[in-house]
Amino acid sequence: MKEEGYVPVSGGRVWYWKAGSHAKGIPLVVVHGGPGASHDYLEPLEAFASERPVVFYDQLGCGNSDRPDDNSLWVIERFVDELHQIREALGLGQVHLLGQSWGASLVAEYMLTKQPVGVAGLLLAGPLLSTSRWMEDQRKWVSDLPVNVQEIIRRTEDSGDFASKEYQEAMMVFYGRHVCRMEQWPECLNRTFEKLNLSQYLHMWGPSEFTVTGTLKTFELADRLGELKLPVLITCGQFDEARPETCRYFQSLVPGAELHVFEDASHEHHLEKPDEFLAVAGNFFRKAEQNTL
């Protein structure tokens, strides 16, 4: 049984849906990436609803939520408040939080600034926790691309003509290696790209995953990760934009954190290795719950 609706938040209304309302486990709140994306590509995580309620939502400006045309709303503090407001509105006392990519930035910032009670476990999938590290990682991956593709990227970044067809094609070469390595992208992922709020993505991030010009350019959480005092699992793919080496570094900063690297997978490892992801994450949630009893 699914429940869906809208929650009023700062700046507008956000759309949510909840699966597995009658399941007994601690609810899981799934926080999508972007910025400017939607929950769609994370829909396979509804599989967790067999043992716990699973709540998805589209951040303000994204997917099925209101899309106000006001760039002053696109700051991480407002997105953190939004998560707090959703938990309050839906009566989510005890929860697990799963943040993917930019969603991991958001849930980590939420834990560190709001210090909320009732969060049993924190799963950071392909996390953006330091923009400087992220940019270094993308430069490493770009340096492994075919020389002609590297040249297109370099030339475009010099000229600033990010709308050119050749730059879009270069982006897709990169995405096919480091965002999703599946030959045929799942329909749910294509849907997210179709719904992307490009204005929000450009304002907060930039013209591509590896060219950062937006407000998150100075985003850094690494030096605060040691303040996290709850069970934490970090996941990434072998070829993830959040490189395994960087995720191991983040793991070393969080007391007791676990890390799982998915072989031959990338940023969307929950889509590329679905059974393994569900098993690893499910075990983590169950173990974290034992610690809260």
Q: Which residues are catalytic?
A: 101, 240, 267
Cα-Cα end-to-end distance for the chain: 27
Residue 201: Cβ-neighbour burial (10 angstroms; 0-12, 13-18, 19+): buried
Residues 102, 171: Cα–Cα separation, whole Å: 19
Cβ contact 65:15 at 8 Å: yes
Alpha helix stretches (DSSP H) within the chain: 76-89, 102-114, 131-143, 147-159, 165-178, 187-195, 198-204, 244-253, 269-272, 274-292
Burial 82-101 (b: 16+ CB within 10 A, else e): bbbebbeebebeebbbbbbb
Burial 207-221 (b: 16+ CB within 10 A, else e): bbbbbbbbbbeebeb
Residues 144, 245: Cα–Cα separation, whole Å: 16
